[in-house]
Amino acid sequence: MKLIRDLDNLPPEVRGGAVSIGNFDGVHKGHARIVQRLLARAREVGGPAVVFTFDPHPIRVLRPHHAPPPLTWTRRKAELLAELGVDQIIAYPTNEAFLRLDARQFFDRIVCHRLRARVLVEGSNFFFGRDRLGNVDRLREFCAQAGLTLEVVEPVHIGGQVVSSSRVRALVAAGRVDQAAALLTRPYRIRGTVIRGAGRGMRLGYPTANMNYVETLLPAQGIYAARAVVGTGGWPAAVSLGPNPTFAEDPGLTKVEVHIIDYSGDLYGREIEVDFLARLRDIVRFDSPAQLVAQMELDVQAARRVVAQHGA
């Protein structure tokens, strides 16, 4: 999978195919339906299936204080799209000059001139150009004038509601990671760098990797069953999000502590990734460290079972 970040001197294998433009945050099942149609259209015209996305999300440039945390980082987004079969992923560096392009300019310069697209595949709520003034109706008009085919894909409904990035974000923020996973193409994942913590986990017999520099949305406080990814390997894990009230830590403290079950090795300074599979319980205060250790053993057993059920 090659991630393209520059539109200058694009290789021939990126041009002349089917293109879908959007943020694709989280890569959920609505996105998967768009990709499915994108692949079909690309086969029809004998060209590549191309996703054009943005890095960062435009709202983080225009209104950074109102931008919600993303669900995926760019490299992970590209991996998920490649898993669905996309041939080429462009993550265009979003800046103010780019965002000043109006709908017509965006269509002419990016879609026609740079990508030389033959087909566009978009969701019904697609907007483009400065101030999001371009919509599907305008895109249909532009495509007709330029001799391009446009396919508009209807949203996916699960549980009677539209699958969307905002819906996934609300579920993750509430800690309902299993329900979020039902909307995503893969379980919800974060990544971060392991830093030194207080060392209590080691002394209690359950060493933890303390994650820092997590750029994406964190689930609600609680204890979770998860799968930890270290390098190319995966291990079951029990994750604590939040403080440890047994040791009188500040209730507002945000910590990500990952006990990687059956793993041995030094992780300090390394980057790890964590897939959240299920929320096991709330964070509670125990009367003694011994009671905490007893509960941690139950959490580890529960995490093992959940990970085994997921075949991970």
Q: What pLDDT, in 10s, does the model give residues 200-240?
A: 767 887 889 999 999 999 999 999 999 999 998 999 999 99
Considering the domain boundaries, does residue 175 fall inside one?
Answer: no
pTM: 0.94
Q: Are residues 207 and 155 in the same domain?
A: no
Q: Which of 52, 79, 56 minimizes the C-alpha distance to 68?
A: 56
Q: Which of 300, 228, 223, 221 minimizes the C-alpha distance to 265?
A: 228
> Phi and psi at residue 243, in whole multiples of 5°?
-80, 175
| pLDDT at residue 95, rounded to an integer | 87
Q: Are residues 126 and 229 in the same domain?
A: no
Q: Are residues 233 and 104 in the same domain?
A: no
Considering the domain boundaries, does residue 181 fall inside one?
Answer: no
Place of tokens 């033959």: 118
183: alpha, beta or left? (left if phi > 0; alpha if psi -120 to 50): alpha
Contact 92, 42 (CB under 8 A): no
Q: Are residues 144 and 215 in the same domain?
A: no
Considering the domain boundaries, does residue 173 fall inside one?
Answer: no
Q: What is the CATH number of the domain that holds 236?
A: 2.40.30.30
Q: How many domains does the chain have?
A: 2
The tokens describing 231, both together, are 């390098």
Q: What is the CATH number of the domain that holds 34?
A: 3.40.50.620
Q: Which domain holds residue 37?
A: 3-161
Q: Are residues 124 and 266 in the same domain?
A: no
Q: Are residues 154 and 243 in the same domain?
A: no
| pLDDT at residue 173, rounded to an integer | 98
Q: Are residues 62 and 112 in the same domain?
A: yes
| pLDDT at residue 63, rounded to an integer | 86
Q: Are residues 60 and 95 in the same domain?
A: yes
Q: Are residues 193 and 297 in the same domain?
A: yes
Question: pLDDT band at 60, cuts 50/70/90?
Answer: confident
